[in-house]
Amino acid sequence: MLTLSGLYVGWRHRGTPAGLALAVVAFLGGAMFLSVYLFVQSFRCKDVRTLLVG
């Protein structure tokens, strides 16, 4: 499951260096990081489809 969260974060940032760093943090940080990440991203996105699909 942690691998999927890391892949999701890296994919959302399209493989940029910052995105890859966040992916590693998502893999190591687990649910704590992912819940904060999705909370912040939910304010940046206009709807749920954009949040999930990118």
Which structural domain, as residue segments, surrounds residue 28?
A: 2-53
pLDDT attached to residue 48 = 86
SS (H, E, C) the chain: CHHHHHHHHHHHCCCCHHHHHHHHHHHHHCHHHHHHHHHHHHHHCCCHHHHHHC
Q: Going residue by residue through the chain (54 aa), what tens digit of pLDDT does each one get?
A: 889 999 999 999 999 999 999 999 999 998 899 899 989 999 998 888 888 887
Identity of the amino acid at 51: L
Number of domains into which the chain is organized: 1
Residue 45 tokens, joined: 């996105």
pTM (2 decimals)? 0.77
